[in-house]
Amino acid sequence: MSTPHAAQRHDAQPQAQGLADLVSSTHRAGEVWVSSPFDGTLVGTLPASSDEDVHSAVAAARDAHQEWAARPVAERVAPLLEFRELVLQHSEELLDLVQLETGKARSSALEEIADIVLWSSYLVHHGPRALRSQRRSSAFPLLTRTTEHHKPIGVVGVITPWNYPLTLPVTDSLPALLAGNAVVLKPDEQTSHTALRLLSLLRHAGIPEDLMQIVVGSGPEAGAALVDCADYLMFTGSSATGARVAARCAERLIGFSGELGGKNPMLILDDADTSRAAATAAQSCFSNAGQLCVSIERIYIHDSVWEEFTTRFLRRVSQLKLAPGLTWQADVGSLISEQQLKVVAEHVEDAVEKGATVLTGGKPRPDLGPFFYEPTVLTDVTEQMALHSTETFGPVVSLYRVTSEEEAIAAANDSPYGLNASVFSAKRGPAVARRLQTGSVNINDGYAASWISLDAPMGGMKRSGVGRRHGTQGILKYTESQTVARQRFASVARPAGVGRRLWAQMMLRGINVLKRLR
């Protein structure tokens, strides 16, 4: 691949022009060069944000937050409505930009457009109700009136990866804004143009200029600076990095939410519809070239349907089309980088050297682009292989034959991760789902059913994350709960002139009555 300075400008370069002005960077800590994974052509250059720039961005956002938080929720909803319409109006431009920066297939990019439009709609219709102050029952009915309020936290720092550059910034930033916070977003350097275009649309929709800021730079530099000065931190990335970020947040006593790694299992039980399962598995394993936090990386197949499912699955995988470019022809696009290609290739090579069998794929495709890799299916994978338990985050899945439902459940749960799972069964899906140690489980689907259930929380167990996005939990986590209790008529304190023993007897009688009212 060409070096950034040797890269030629892409035909779609003009759409990236002007976005550099939106970066919170006055000290200019160097430049970030973004080249397309498709062919190395230059998407654009951006100024890198220094440590001082990050602190300045947070300070500006904090100032803007005061006026924004004072607005009624109904006023904060209006820009989200306008943003939703602007996304639809500019969908072709956004699709181009996402593809240029990530190398993903256009169909995968379209999923992001659909996702942010639907999530914006959910927030508009359900957010105000979630944020409404609520009456709570009190210890002393009639005497005490108790209300819970939801107050914005302040400045929310959002750190997002490169794999879903539309979905993740919007999913995490919009509820924070709706709740009355300011946001400082640090996207991955590779997909910063996409994030900046989102910011331009949000400002056009009516978000105050300083309320949301974007800083550009590496995780160890710009990301670390953001963790050190934000009031709350939302992070999406690896479990190892998430643990370090969470530790720093704990030191500062600020809130943290993180969607982290996964090694997501699919269970094909003996009563599964293998035709449907095979078609869904092909999409669930290789969408976005497997660079998806909830994608399937291991499949446990009951012995009685092994041949039937495997034959159908391999046929589906062989029909997937790899292709570069801004067209609708590809089912699978490019990996994001040389580093990601290296990880995928090393996992497959290590498995093969230790006895695994490649059923299809298993090779890079430099004829298509520098980072393309074939959709790959392996079997005979053992615990000695990195592929067995380590997240690959690429177009690779391993198949395992099991002899019982119990064996499949035990194997699926035998992982430090617990993000997403899938169960294919005509009758036993719900019962099996409840026994799986993952934040989401899809019955007769791979991951889409749970992800698009926007009213339900989404997140991980074990090393796959802390906190949830989506649903009311994904809104209220950006608030502090405040309880206001107003006492009327009489105090609960001991009245003057009443002895302690008599007061204790009266209190115990009162408690005995109140316990029946709970």
Q: Which residues pair with 423 in a beta bridge?
A: 267, 443
**293 flagged as catalytic:** yes
Q: How many CB atoms lie within 10 A of CB 184?
A: 30
177, 185 contact by CB (below 8 A): no
Which one is catalytic: 111, 189, 259, 374?
A: 259
Give me Rg for the CA atoms of the chain: 26
How buried is residue 240: exposed, middle or buried, by Cβ count under 10 Å (0-12/13-18/19+)?
exposed
How far is the C-alpha of 403 from the C-alpha of 306, rounded, in Å? Answer: 10
Nearest to 432 by CA among 457, 404, 467: 404
Q: From residue 161, how far is each of 107, 258, 273, 450, 515 by CA, in Å?
A: 19, 12, 35, 21, 51
Angle between helices 73-89 and 106-131 (to 10 degrees): 170
Q: How many CB atoms lie within 10 A of CB 165?
A: 28
Q: Give me the amino acid identity at 251.
A: E
Tokens 């974007």 correspond to: 214
Q: Which residues pair with 479 in a beta bridge?
A: 152
Q: Which residues pair with 134 in a beta bridge?
A: 148
How far is the C-alpha of 35 from the C-alpha of 45, rounded, in Å? Answer: 9
120, 174 contact by CB (below 8 A): yes
How buried is residue 365: exposed, middle or buried, by Cβ count under 10 Å (0-12/13-18/19+)?
middle
Contacts for 351-359: CB closer than 8 Å, 24+ residues apart:
351/378, 351/381, 351/385, 351/386, 351/387, 351/388, 351/398, 352/378, 354/382, 354/384, 354/385, 355/380, 355/382, 356/380, 356/381, 356/382, 356/385, 356/387, 356/398, 359/310, 359/314, 359/399
Which one is catalytic: 101, 112, 293, 374?
A: 293
Written as six digits, the tokens of 85 are 């319409």
Catalytically annotated residues: 259, 293
